Amino acid sequence: MVTEVGQGVSWTGYEFRRARMVERLRQMGITRTEVLSAMSAVPRHVFVEEALRSHAYDDMSLPLGLGQTISQPYTVAVMTQLLFARRAINPNLRILEIGTGCGYQTAVLQALGLREIYSIERLRPLHERAKQNLRAVRLLAHARLVCGDGYLGLPQEAPFDCIILTAAPKEVPLPLLQQLSIGGRMVLPLDEGGVQFLWVIDKTAEGYQETCVQQTLFVPLVNDK
């Protein structure tokens, strides 16, 4: 359970709003108990701009600056639920996140009890902000944050059991497919001619199984190369 104290400031005034958010997620089809518990444990308002904290638990994305956003709570919850839809949430699963942003999705993954999380962010200011946010909620211990090109992944740390992208490429990055373990799953948005859809890709010994889930909206994934 996450202690709601960061840098000497009490966050208890947000508990009711977060409880309402979790109930709304339940009504919207988030059924995995562990995911709902993680969403309940992480104080989302810590990860948004101070001027926007009154909207932290509304179901909307919010700007972070630098052309980036924090995804709406439903998007974070549904992607997390999809990531583990076919398996138990084992603490030893190896997770790769592309697009750390402010660190909120990273925090939710840690709140699930996962102990091997790698997260890549290409923008140095956001990379540093995510570290600060995760320290504030005491959820940095098992997250290894990297500033770099997420399109390339982390081949030196592969394979990964789960890969999640929080930015939309125009095609599935081949390096990330190669870094997914047999039996692993990738959840990502894809930009298909200006319209984005959420996809699930399962890697089997025979190849890949791809499933289109729903329309979505993310910032683009930029390839530094």
10 has catalytic annotation = no
Q: Which of 217, 222, 196, 221 is nearest to 72 (CA)?
A: 217
Q: Which of 192, 200, 198 is nearest to 215 (CA)?
A: 198
Q: Which amino acid is at 205?
A: A
- What angle do the packed helices 15-27 and 73-83 form, to 10 degrees? 60
Query: Which of 37, 54, 71, 119 is the catalytic position?
Result: 71
Active site residues: 71
